[in-house]
A and B are shown apart, each in its own frame.
Chain A
Amino acid sequence: MNKEYLKTIYYLLKKEIMAYFNSPIAYIFIGVFLVVGNFLFFKNFFLYGQANLRPYFDLLPWIFLFLSPAVTMRLWAEEKKSGTIEFLLTLPVSDWQVVVAKFLGALCFVVITLSLSFTLPISVAFIGDVDWGPVIGGYLGAIFLAGSYLSLGLFISSLTKNQIIAFLMALVACFAAFIIGADFVLYGAPQIFVPLMKFIGLGSHFSNISKGVIDTKDLIYYSSFIFLFLWLNARVIEARAWK
Chain B
Amino acid sequence: MIEIKNLSKRFASTAVLEDLNLEVKKGEILGFLGPNGAGKTTTMKIITSFWAPSGGSVKVDGIDVTEDSQKSRAKIGYLPETVPLYEDMRVYEYLKFIAEVRGIEKDRIKKRIKEVAHDCGLSSVIRKPIDELSKGYRQRVGLAQAIMHEPEILILDEPTTGLDPNQISEIRELIKKIGKEKTVIFSTHIL
With a CB–CB cut-off of 8 A, which chain B residues contact A228?
none
Assess whether A90 is interfacial by the CB under 8 Å rule.
yes
Cβ contact within 8 Å between B84 and A4: no
Assess whether A86 is interfacial by the CB under 8 Å rule.
yes
Q: Which residues of A contact B (CB under 8 A)?
A: 4, 8, 11-12, 14-15, 18-19, 22-23, 82-87, 89-94, 240-243
Assess whether B172 is interfacial by the CB under 8 Å rule.
no
Cβ contact within 8 Å between B89 and A92: no
Q: A83-B80, A84-B85 are in contact. Are A92 and B48 (CB under 8 A)?
A: no
CA distance A14 to B100 in the complex (A): 10
Q: A19-B88, A84-B86 are in contact. Are A91 and B50 (CB under 8 A)?
A: no
CA distance A11 to B101 in the complex (A): 6
With a CB–CB cut-off of 8 A, which chain A residues contact B89?
15, 18-19, 22
CA distance A27 to B6 in the complex (A): 53
Cβ contact within 8 Å between A93 and B101: yes
Q: A4-B103, A83-B82, A90-B76 are in contact. Are A23 and B88 (CB under 8 A)?
A: yes
Q: A11-B97, A242-B52 are in contact. Are A82 and B73 (CB under 8 A)?
A: no
Nearest opposing residue in chain A for B78, CB measure: A90
List, sorted by A's number, 15 A–B pairs whose CB atoms are closer than 8 Å: A8-B101, A15-B89, A15-B97, A19-B86, A19-B89, A22-B88, A23-B88, A82-B87, A84-B86, A86-B45, A86-B84, A90-B50, A90-B80, A240-B50, A243-B51
Q: Mark B73-105, 1 if CB is under 8 A from A, else 0.
A: 110101010101111110001000110111100
The smallest C-beta distance from A239 to any residue of chain B, in angstroms, reads 10
**9 nearest A-B residue pairs (beta carbon):** A83-B84, A92-B74, A241-B52, A84-B84, A11-B100, A90-B48, A92-B73, A22-B88, A83-B82
Q: A11-B100, A90-B73 are in contact. Are A241 and B50 (CB under 8 A)?
A: yes
CA distance A18 to B76 in the complex (A): 26
Q: Mark B11-43, 1 if CB is under 8 A from A, else 0.
A: 100000000000000000000000000000000
Assess whether B49 is interfacial by the CB under 8 Å rule.
yes
With a CB–CB cut-off of 8 A, which chain A residues contact B87?
82
Assess whether B70 is interfacial by the CB under 8 Å rule.
yes
Q: A11-B100, A11-B101, A92-B73 are in contact. Are A86 and B50 (CB under 8 A)?
A: yes
Q: Mark B151-170, 1 if CB is under 8 A from A, else 0.
A: 00000000000000000000
CA distance A227 to B102 in the complex (A): 27
With a CB–CB cut-off of 8 A, which chain A residues contact B93?
18
The smallest C-beta distance from B103 to any residue of chain A, in angstroms, reads 7
Cβ contact within 8 Å between B86 and A89: no
With a CB–CB cut-off of 8 A, which chain B residues contact A85?
84
Nearest opposing residue in chain A for B86, CB measure: A84
CA distance A241 to B53 in the complex (A): 8
With a CB–CB cut-off of 8 A, which chain B residues contact A240?
50-51
Cβ contact within 8 Å between A91 and B88: no
Cβ contact within 8 Å between A12 and B101: yes
CA distance A227 to B30 in the complex (A): 44
With a CB–CB cut-off of 8 A, which chain B residues contact A93?
70, 101
With a CB–CB cut-off of 8 A, which chain B residues contact A92?
70-71, 73-74, 101-103
Which listed residue, B11, B84, B86, B102, touches A91 by the CB 8 Å rule? B102
CA distance A93 to B50 in the complex (A): 12
CA distance A8 to B73 in the complex (A): 14
- Chain B residues 52-80 with CB under 8 Å of chain A are 52, 70-71, 73-74, 76, 78, 80
Cβ contact within 8 Å between B101 and A91: yes
The smallest C-beta distance from B79 to any residue of chain A, in angstroms, reads 9
Q: A8-B101, A18-B93, A92-B102 are in contact. Are A87 and B52 (CB under 8 A)?
A: no
CA distance A8 to B101 in the complex (A): 6
CA distance A87 to B51 in the complex (A): 12
The smallest C-beta distance from A189 to any residue of chain B, in angstroms, reads 42
Nearest opposing residue in chain A for B75, CB measure: A92
